[in-house]
Structure 1
Amino acid sequence: MLHRSGRTCWRRFAAVLVPSLAAVAALGIGMAQGALAASFFISGQRFQVAADTLRAGGLSIYPMVDVTRKGTLVPVVVLGFRHAQIGGLCLSVVIDVPLLGPFTLLLTGGDGRRVEAANLFIDATSVVAVQADTDDIDIGVAAGAVTKGPVNPKDRNSRWFDPDVFAQQAQSVVLSDVRVISVAVSAGTLNVPNLALHIKQGSHRCF
């Protein structure tokens, strides 16, 4: 395991995810052989999550595979945050409505106040941040040995979860100008001040 202590800074957070994305391919081999099974189904609809800032205590990054009700396999990287504060939250998903065309479900929050979340998990297919600062980071830790950040209980108890696969963890992280393509988000608690939810005709994505 490659271990680094202290503060680490990346201009592009995506660089941290490359090894985890590679580990997803290893999980895919297990899927093809029928050795793994899904713990829950996702819609498969990709949506955007953006934030001006995300500050978290307890970070985990590990690969998983989500599955839709139709059986489509969706490799993802799970970002887990034990406690998170989010500024300038935006979530958008564009849905094609028959005969009417595209409509956007747009959710915003945290305008002037930070969104607070505990045990927040983002199942992502793409993650980019302009700036990422971490404290006490471990790169290459086994997923089953992650302790600094959370692991979703639904993942840990699933046959999809490989405790020996490549993962990462950090004591804390600060991300700036975050842009995520996700298929699922879950949280133990989520407090969203100044919540606004709109349905808009056309495409009105977060980014």
Structure 2
Amino acid sequence: MKDTSGAQVLGRTSLKRLGMVMVPTLAVAGVLGVMMANGAIAMSLAISGQTAQMTVGELSGTGFAQYGGVDQESNGTPVAVAVSSFTSATISNGLCQSVTTDLSKLTGGLLGNYTLTLKASGATASSLVIDLQTLNATEADFSGMNIGTDAGASGGAPGLFAQTATSADLKNVQQVSNATTAGSFDLQNMSLSIAPGTTGCIQ
């Protein structure tokens, strides 16, 4: 199943040559990333200001790049992010994405915190770009690594420090992100649920 539309977390204010993806934008106010079908089109998107949690059993991709960047909330507030992008990526051994939203202001206090959770057995993505706050993995293997390249050659701002690799393989990934975009994102065995509370994918 293809998830190419989604919620309100969107890309960064700088040009994005690689549209980013990760578990696509699931939805809702602030889910991790909005799935864009833009691929190599420059984007200027306003993020929600919320963050999403994601866990992945294994993430393997080609055309990897990583550099610093700045997202912008709809009210104009800048947010520093670490950008990770892949030309193509495969997720296996389970995927979980969650975002918690306070619904009290929308319901006059009748509802509080609710967490939206998306799960899938695996996924494939193209032009995947993730704007991160944190990322942890028990193992990270890179091939064809170049450290200190110009971010402008990888979709970031020219003159900024970047690192690239022809391929990357990360295991037992836990990440917190502000936004995700992608040219395409295909999920296998997807399920979606919303429940009261703040329990997300990262325990």
TM-score between both structures, scaled by the size of structure 1: 0.72
2:164 corresponds in structure 1 to 169
Segments of 5+ residues of structure 1 without an aligned counterpart are 1-37, 152-160
Write out per-residue CA displacement over residues 142-175 of structure 1, whole angstroms, 9 at most, x where no aligned residue.
11234xxxx3xxxxxxxxx521110010000100
1:142 corresponds in structure 2 to 150
Write out per-residue CA displacement over residues 33-59 of structure 1, whole angstroms, 9 at most, x where no aligned residue.
xxxxx9221111111111010010110
SS at match of 1:71: coil
Identity %: 38
Q: Which has the higher helix share?
A: 1
Q: Which has the higher strand share?
A: 1
Give the alignment's Cα RMSD to 1 decimal.
Answer: 1.3
Task: Please say if residues 106 and 204 of structure 1, whose CA atoms lie closer than 8 Å, have aligned partners that are also in contact.
Answer: no
Any runs of at least 4 consecutive aligned residues in structure 1 with deviations exceeding 3 A, and if so which?
A: none
1:21 corresponds in structure 2 to none
What letter corresponds to residue 100 of structure 2 in structure 1? V
Write out per-residue CA displacement over residues 70-95 of structure 1, whole angstroms, 9 at most, x where no aligned residue.
11110001100111011211110011
Q: What is the aligned length? A: 154
1:81 corresponds in structure 2 to 86
SS at match of 1:145: helix
Kindly name which structure, 1 or 2, has the bigger radius of gyration based on alpha carbons.
1
TM-score between both structures, scaled by the size of structure 2: 0.73
Task: Please say if residues 59 and 171 of structure 1, whose CA atoms lie closer than 8 Å, have aligned partners that are also in contact.
Answer: yes
2:183 corresponds in structure 1 to 188
SS at match of 2:66: strand
1:105 corresponds in structure 2 to 116
Task: Please say if residues 94 and 105 of structure 1, whose CA atoms lie closer than 8 Å, have aligned partners that are also in contact.
Answer: yes
Segments of 5+ residues of structure 2 without an aligned counterpart are 1-42
What letter corresponds to residue 60 of structure 1 in structure 2? A
Return the match for 1:50 from 45, 51, 55. 55
Structure 1 residue 188: Cα displacement: 0.3
1:92 corresponds in structure 2 to 98
1:119 and 2:127 correspond: yes
